[in-house]
Structure 1
Amino acid sequence: MQSKSEVNRKQMRIRKNIVRLEGSRKRNITQQGKEKKMAEKFQMYIDGEWCDSSSGEVIEVTNPATGELIGTVPKAAPEDLERAIKAADREKEAFKHWGIVERGELMCRIADELEKETEKIAKYMSMEQGKPIATESRGEVTESAENLRNANEDIKRMNGEILYSKDPNRKIMTIREPNGVYSAISPWNFPMVMPAEHIAPILVAGNTMIMKPASYTPISAVFFAEAIERAGCPKGVFNLVTGPGPTIGEMMCSHPLVNAIAFTGENVTGKRIAQIAGLKRMLLEMGGSGPEIVCADADIKAAAEGAAYGAWMNAGQVCCSTQRVLVHKSVKKEFLEHLMKTVDDIVLGDPLDDKTTMGPLNNAPVADKVEFHVNEGIAKGAKILCGGGRAKGFDTNLFFEPTIVDNVTPGMLLHDEETFGPVIPIIEFETDEEAIKMANSTPYGLQMSVYTSSMKKAFYYHSRLNAGNVCINESAGFWEPHQPFGGAPGTETGYGRIGGKYTIEETTFLKTITVNFDKCY
């Protein structure tokens, strides 16, 4: 284990990285102050027109790194949403009958339009969300375009069946048709790619939609709507409404003209949606507390790097981040030595500086939650190996130190709940059965990871872990846009699958057609 002096040296290295960009950060902010302009005013996109809220109210969007006002978006009133829903309902029949080639080409044009504005979109994404522009925001624009182009390919491979009937003169066929009008609600942690994961399959399948982004990060969605308009999407097919979840979000999910709902976000909100949506088709992708399990025979360095990737990406604000590490007792010391080294490479700072690798947490509630989980763990006997609190010397208190916490046990929030920050709780185990029991002990079942060199053990684990996704010798933070991603039944992770053709299947329904040829001319 680390000695006290080693831990102190580690803390000093973290703080050096935190302040490494202090001079340039202050210069940047000072320069921004000199060039300070009026906050930008953004609008909603309803029925092919850009508009303000009918009430005139707005939502302010602030920069989590500086606390400065970036801009405003309309605070939609019920009548604004009503207009958007009626437009989508009006256009659903016409858009449904577009050919798959036409809809696929529309997706590619949207992708092209997004990529033309990569630098602008990435800049605003980093400003409103807090993620580093160099290591994350630019890549998120690229991945959003990839989702759209994948949809163009996936729709061509959707198929039905011809079934044999008992009567040789009869044929039974199955085809897929769009669900109709969609309400799509996206979260603040990936303000471009998660809307893309909804927009691409919903539209390419022939549905119409209303999109509501998170109020913390709506500007990225405005740029997405601009790309959709420039790509030639018919008016009324796609609508962007910005407003609060408790009013506009609930109306989106309960409105009688809405046929289906796509939601990505926290489980509390997802459960509320399920309550009010009734019998509408639902795609719910919610939280996770996916552990990485490090077996005694694992490649320990690779396991440590995988845990770090899953925990430090987006400051841990990812549903499939490394929420916990279950490590075998015999390799725990070696694992921690490798894991602690990953902290040296983190540069906490201004998201718009290309040297920064980790930005602030996005908002006060999530920062408060991370701090509370860590403090509760300490009070119950957990031990801080590095980090452990909010970083000093910044314009806001949303920067959180990369944190590794040892001696975590079931019963602590760090183990039982989704912390959603740059925190790696370490839990020791001795037997495979013990590790599986702890992995499956939380309400979540999204994605889990196992590091082992034994194929037999890999199969043993994946067949016993109650998760929709199991990664063998990959980080718990791993995914690719075309793979199915979602939770296990009976967990609080939701249902349905995000990713590739699997989401197109979710956004369509199976229609059965029976033809009696004996009665035909």
Structure 2
Amino acid sequence: MTNVKVVEKKHLFINGRDVEADNYAPLYSPYSDEVIADIAMADEHLTKEAIKAAQEAFLVISKMAAFERSAILEKVVELLKERADEAAEVIAIESAKPISFAKGEVTRTIETYKFAAEEAKRIHGETIPFDAAPGGVGRIGYTVRKPIGVIGAITPFNFPMNLVAHKVGPAIASGNSIVLKPASQTPLSALYIAELFKEAGLPDGVLNVVTGSGSVVGEAIIKDDRVQMITFTGSPAVGIGIRNKAGLKKTTLELGSNAAVILDKDTNIDQVIDRCILGAFSNQGQVCISLQRVYAHEEVYDQFVEKFVEAAKQLKVGNPLDPETYISSLISKKETERALSWIEEAKQNDAVVLAGGKLKDGILEPTVITNVDPLLKVSCQEVFAPVVIVNKVKSVEEAIGYVNNSRYGLQAGVYTKNIDHALFASEALEVGAVMINDIPTFRVDNMPYGGVKESGTGREGLKYAVEEMTEMKLIVWNRGDK
């Protein structure tokens, strides 16, 4: 059982204050099934009230000096540092993320807001050499970047605090206001952060958190003409639907992957096992760039499989609040059942389960599968569970073919000491980022992050998100000389 003592009633956060809804729904712990809070379920009217508040607050935040916006973000950094353990427990309780990984997420969230504070001070344009064209002689020009207005942010459950930061941080840094709809399973982290921003002095209405169903709250945000941009992290099906409904709104969509790593024949297996374990099984594999597919050269395949399986079997399964726990519950029983059905499908098609593949006290054990046909769901779709497949290849070129034969293209990794193989892989892999001598799960919060194909459009990472959340404006001066 988790150590939640009371069931709180959590309201909407609109225009700097708690707002009650007509209906509330119980929020259950994914690990213990106990009720941990009653969450407000906003209707269309309340969602529109949040949008109205954000629209009015945009007039305030857009005129605020860069150093003032930066100072608010810095204050949130200070507050979150002071309450890091408390924040980590919020994440662990609502999402069943093991507390050690929850603490890591809080650390990254602090870094993300720190980067946002820094980026607030360096939003700039460039001068244009108009005299490069005969008709431009006598004119000078420059560009500036202007905030676009109300941003609708829809965030997922797997990093409920840091992926909120990746939308809220750059929005505030660039002078925009936000209406945030957090994932239904993980609203507590978003509401927690909203309170920190209020304490840090963010003007009322700049950040609004509207909890409820995607079909009501999400739809209202997407369709409202007062919302200028939608930034979404989640499934391809929902993301494609948003793109179709958004019209001329700007959209940034991060839609997931089935990320792969290639192990060349010269890979030192002992040096990569721990990284691959982290990539495959951190947060129960519920990571957009989780290591789902391993393509190991035939000369190192047997050694890798033996050591990887042995390491996977050592991971502790259990209560997310236990510091020793590495694997806890998936976000819902439905997701657990889906993952089990995909594993069963693989077994029925001659794949071999060498570790896991079953439940232990309701938790899916870390699972390693070999001899997997590329068309099986555990290979070609996003498993989003502690499941990794390992297949044998004869060359890096063959492995690249398997990696690219995917509807996704977020990140990929390749371990090799051969510079030609590394350069070839970096050019040939159809992904948004290639990690040489590292797992595809590598991410730091200031790097450009995003993918191709059904992995989405646009880029996150503070500097790059600020560019997405601003419009370029050109100013031209005619000096009157010509």
TM-score bin, normalised by smaller chain: over 0.9
Structure 2 gap segments, 5+ residues each = none
Q: Structure 1, residues 231-268: CA drift from partner, whole Å, max 9, x if none?
A: 11101111110010111101111111000011111111
Amino acid across the alignment from 2:425: Y
- Following TM superposition, the consecutive aligned residue runs of length 4 or more in structure 1 with deviations greater than 3 angstroms are none
Q: Secondary structure at the match of 2:218?
A: helix
Q: What are the within-5 Å matches in structure 2 for residues 175-194 of structure 1?
A: 175-194=144-163
Q: Does 1:456 align with 2:420?
A: yes
1:45 and 2:9 matched: no
Question: Aligned letter for 2:480?
Answer: D
Q: What pairs with 1:80-479 in structure 2 (closer than 5 Å)?
A: 80-133=46-99, 135-166=100-131, 167-391=136-360, 394=361, 397=362, 399-479=363-443
| Whole-angstrom distance in 2 between the partners of 1:429 and 1:405 | 15
Partner Cα separation in structure 1 for residue 57 and residue 138 of structure 2 = 38
Opposite residue 407 of structure 1, the aligned amino acid is N
Amino acid at match of 1:289: N
Q: How many residues align?
A: 478
Farther-moved stretch of structure 1 (295-304 vs 506-515) = 295-304
Whole-angstrom distance in 2 between the partners of 1:181 and 1:194: 18
Looking at structure 1, the residues matched to 83 and 367 of structure 2 have their Cα atoms a distance apart, in angstroms, of: 35
**Distance in 2, Cα, partners of 1:250 & 1:159:** 34
CA distance in 2, matches of 1:190, 1:431: 35
Tell me, yes or no, if the aligned pair for 1:191 and 1:221 is still in contact at 8 Å: yes
Please list the CA deviations of residues 299-336 of structure 1 after superposition, one character each: whole Å capped at 9, or x if unmatched.
22233322211111001000000111111122110111
Equivalent residue for 1:494? Answer: 456
State how far apart, in whole Å, the 2-side matches of 1:437 and 1:139 are: 34
Paired residue secondary structure (1:498): coil
Distance, in Å, in 2 between the alignment partners of 1:318 and 1:481 is 15
Report the CA distance shift for 1:469/1:73 in structure 2 as closer, same or farther (over 3 A).
same
Query: What displacement does 1:364 show?
Result: 2.2
What residue number does 2:34 align with?
68
- The superposition leaves residues 387-417 of structure 1 with CA deviations (integer Å, 9 ceiling, x where unpaired) of 11122xx3xx3x1011110111211111111
1:17-36 correspondence runs (5 A): none
RMSD: 1.5
Structure 2: which amino acid aligns with 1:189? N
Counterpart amino acid of 2:23? E
Question: Offset at 1:136?
Answer: 0.9
Per the normalisation by structure 2, the TM-score is 0.96
1:514 counterpart letter in structure 2: V
State the one-letter code of the partner of 1:451: Y
- What is the one-letter code of the residue matched to 2:29? N
Indicate if the aligned counterparts of 2:119 and 2:173 stay in contact, CA closer than 8 A. Answer: no
- The aligned counterpart of 1:515 is 477
CA contact under 8 A between 1:307 and 1:476: conserved in structure 2?
no
Indicate conservation of the 8 Å contact 1:294/1:303, yes or no: no
Deviation at 1:101?
Answer: 0.8
Query: After superposition, what is the alpha-carbon deviation per residue over 1:462-483, rounded to whole angstroms, capped at 9, x for unaligned?
Result: 1000000111111111111111
SS of the aligned residue for 2:391 comes to strand
Q: Higher mean Cα deviation, 149-158 or 207-216?
A: 149-158
In structure 2, give the amino acid aligned to 1:114.
L
Write the deviation string for residues 403-440 of structure 1: whole angstroms up to 9, x where unpaired: 11011121111111110111111112113322111100
Matched residue type, 1:99: A
Q: Within 2, Cα distance between the matches of 1:283 and 1:179?
A: 14
